[in-house]
Amino acid sequence: MTPPIDAHVRLDTHPTHPSAVTAVLTGTQARLALMGLEAADWTVVAENVLVLARIDHEEPYWAEDAAKHLSAEGITVEITPRLREAMDEEWTWANYPMPWCTRSEIREVSNEAQKIHDDIRHGQLLIHAHAHDGHTTVAVGTYLHRKGKSVYLHGEDHLRQIADTFDSPAQALLAFEKVHGADMRPGAAPLTDTERSAAEARATFDLTAAKTESSSPELETVPAYLADAGDHDALLDAFLDAHSDWEKWRTWSDETTHAIHESQTLRIERVHETPAHETAWTVAAYETPVSDRMWVLTATGATPAPVLQELLDHLADGDGWDTAIGAPMDEKMVTAATQPLSEAGWKHTVDARWIRWTSPAEDAGVQFDAFAAQNTNSALVTWNVWAGPSIDHPTWTLTASPTTPSSLLGGLSENLVNGIGTRQMQATDRGRTTSLDATPPTTPAATASHQTRRTR
């Protein structure tokens, strides 16, 4: 009997780059696994660590293919749950220029483009010149390992193809210059965003960096508006898993996720890896699937997890989606939206068009713009919820347009007053405790399976 191979491969999603995959090798015979992955064009980035980064965003598919080959050789392969989810995920290219192709045929076209990219990257295909033909990038080059075969390339990234071949570099350059002489530039074209992202993913990264941090940081219980942002992506995933009446799409670059209710009248846009002060969430409601927005709400990247959880819980309940278009926010609606603040003793001030409620510690507040509230057909910021040093220098903000449901705003106000959460205790705070003794809210467990589809 052949003795088992002492090699273990752990496949996981890349820590910082969308769609890329990492492989961590262990065992006395890890070299065997490394050779197999290198042959499949994985890149070594550290000792026994490899990365698969492609320009066609098909890394999960080819990682699964590599796993099958390694397993067939007797090598133990572990696939993390999040990578397994990516492998099983269904997606299609949006506005694909060859709509007659099946999914497998699209993958074949993309793989040929990947081979061209890899040949250029490895110096096996020398690009003499490039140009832009008005629609896309074209180039001419020569294969150094195919007896001087020269090629005319058309397209970028996953759509690049060999459009013509020539017997010599001189013949290829003359033909290229005849067509693109006015726009012809020497050498290869600048990297596309996709190529640059793949190159960054292949750069060496330190897998041990995270391990140097404390595995169990000290937490303190604080009001919801002072809590840590937490994992916004995990919040959205838990929400979608628990509510099968919502469907998820993710953009081709994996930068944005769109969640749409089955009625097509309520939509969530989540922009990933957003700076703390920029918009990371946009929620919009529509009277019909093809009408203009009834109302829109946004939240920045540093918005605390308990505040977002309150928002998602309200969306799951479905209350107040049908706010009447054109109905200005009257005094009764404003009172209903801010009643929890008034009852909790938040400071109430009026400054011309602005009505404000500020927490006793002056570290959070709500501002209502009476002028903007009358422009019901616009997306003007009518409500501004904030926390931080001041409204002009907030840590995070949540804004809402004129006809945003008062029930939703009332729920957010209630959360500001009574909601609690946790944040990592600063070094200067350790040893001190807060006066709050309730336990922090938890993310609800998934109650239903949810099939995701991704549009690239």
Domain span holding position 51: 8-92
Same domain, 333 and 445: yes
Same domain, 255 and 390: yes
Q: Is residue 205 part of a domain?
A: no
Among 71, 92, 113, give the residue marking a domain's end: 92
* Tokens 């007896």 found at: 147
CA distance 93 to 454: 9
Predicted model pTM: 0.50
H helix or E strand, kind and range, residue 186: strand 185-186
Q: Is residue 235 part of a domain?
A: yes
Instruction: Using pLDDT thresholds of 50, 70 and 90, give the confidence band for residue 42.
Output: very high
Domain total in the chain: 3
Q: Minimal CA–CA distance to 9: which of 19, 32, 20? A: 32
Among 31, 64, 92, give the residue marking a domain's end: 92
**Around Cβ 221, how many Cβ atoms within 10 Å?**
18
H helix or E strand, kind and range, residue 283: strand 279-286
**Around Cβ 371, how many Cβ atoms within 10 Å?**
11
Same domain, 126 and 59: no
Q: Is residue 138 part of a domain?
A: yes
Q: Is residue 207 part of a domain?
A: no
Q: Tell me: the pLDDT tens digits for 204-239?
A: 665 544 344 334 457 788 999 999 998 898 899 889
Same domain, 289 and 358: yes
Q: Is residue 97 part of a domain?
A: no
Same domain, 319 and 420: yes
Same domain, 259 and 403: yes
Helix and strand numbers (H, E) in the chain are: 11, 24
- What sign has the CA pseudo-torsion 444, 446, 451, 456? positive
Same domain, 232 and 315: yes
Of all residues in the chain, the percent with pLDDT exceeding 70 is 84
Same domain, 274 and 366: yes
Q: What is the pLDDT of residue 212?
A: 40
Q: Is residue 279 part of a domain?
A: yes
Same domain, 238 and 364: yes
Same domain, 64 and 26: yes
CATH number of 68's domain: 3.30.70
CA terminus-to-terminus distance, the chain? 47
Q: Is residue 3 part of a domain?
A: no
Among 39, 68, 92, give the residue marking a domain's end: 92
Distances 30 to 8, 34, 71, 76 between C-alpha atoms, Å: 7, 6, 13, 10
Tokens for 119, please give them. Answer: 């040949």
Same domain, 120 and 259: no
Using DSSP's 3-state secondary structure scheme, residue 31 falls into helix
H helix or E strand, kind and range, residue 119: helix 103-121
Q: Tell me: the pLDDT tens digits for 55-78?
A: 999 999 999 999 999 999 999 999
Same domain, 191 and 82: no
Q: Tell me: the pLDDT tens digits for 242-282?
A: 888 898 886 655 688 889 998 888 999 999 888 889 999 99
